[in-house]
């Protein structure tokens, strides 16, 4: 495990983008696992900036997103399809057919989860998986108590996750209660993992994940068993433990 301390969010975003850029340059047809939420926005912005300068080429890159809300379509402004287009895809030369996100409108959960697992397998697995971490230790939408052996599955979001995500919606009542999420087994099969965290509200989660016991009660704790994890976090997020 490698830990890079960032001075602030902008520094964090630049450091994370450097790691992703290196993967793209070393393997132009890499498969990148993508995350959403507030944490990666600066990272994506930096990648777009470097692409526009001619430093990066996404033409052969494939992306596989961690998750998507159930019950909302790709044109909904709160969907992760829309998020990825707005923050990255529409600004670089990635081919739409090489971007993969769960179908939130598919009502047959078993069918969609099997399809998404096959997407991951058909791409040859994930070279670099970008992760954030929830305040309760979740990664993707794998909430506390989720089996470490799960692959893509339907998730009932916890109250704390719904409350945290309500900042993106007009009211908490509009936040979807269910999602499709890549499972912890999928995440752990990635060749490299890059976890980013910013702010004091992530400090306890990081401390429990990397200095506490490995337990489904803290889903991110399983990352202690992965042989190639990089953490990029600011001083506040790293403040609860001696790194």
Query: What DSSP designation does 180 have?
Result: E
For the record, the structure tokens of 135 come out as 């305040």
For 31, the enclosing helix (H) or strand (E) is strand 31-34
For the record, the structure tokens of 102 come out as 């769960």
Give catalytic residue positions.
Answer: 67, 136, 138, 143
Q: Pick the closest to residue 187 from 157, 156, 147 (CA basis).
A: 147
| Residue 197: count of CB within 10 angstroms of its CB | 24
Helices then strands, counting H and E runs in the chain, come out as 7, 10
Structural contact between residues 71 and 105, judged by C-beta atoms closer than 8 angstroms? yes
Query: What DSSP designation does 202 have?
Result: G
């Amino acid at each position: 495990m490698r830990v890079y301390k960032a001075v602030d969010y902008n520094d964090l975003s630049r450091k994370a983008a450097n790691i992703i850029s290196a993967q793209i340059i070393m393997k132009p047809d890499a498969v990148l696992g993508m995350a959403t939420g507030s944490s990666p926005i600066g990272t994506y912005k930096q990648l777009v900036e470097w692409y526009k300068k001619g430093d990066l080429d996404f033409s052969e890159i494939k992306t596989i997103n961690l998750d998507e809300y159930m019950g909302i379509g790709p044109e909904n402004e709160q969907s992760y399809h829309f998020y990825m287009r707005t923050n990255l895809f529409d600004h670089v030369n990635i081919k739409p057919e090489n971007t993969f996100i769960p179908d939130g409108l598919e009502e047959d959960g078993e069918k969609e989860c099997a399809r998404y697992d096959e997407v991951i397998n058909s791409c040859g697995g994930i070279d670099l998986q970008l992760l954030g971490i929830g305040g309760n230790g979740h990664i993707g939408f794998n909430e506390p108590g989720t089996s470490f052996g799960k692959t893509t599955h339907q998730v009932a979001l916890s109250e704390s996750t719904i409350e945290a995500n309500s900042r993106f919606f007009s009211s908490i009542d509009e936040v979807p209660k269910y999602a499709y999420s890549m499972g912890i087994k999928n995440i752990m099969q990635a060749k490299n993992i890059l976890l980013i965290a910013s702010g004091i509200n992530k400090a306890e989660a990081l401390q429990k994940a990397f200095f506490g016991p490995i337990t489904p009660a803290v889903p991110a704790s399983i990352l202690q068993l992965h042989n190639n994890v990089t953490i990029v976090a600011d001083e506040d997020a790293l403040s609860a433990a001696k790194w």
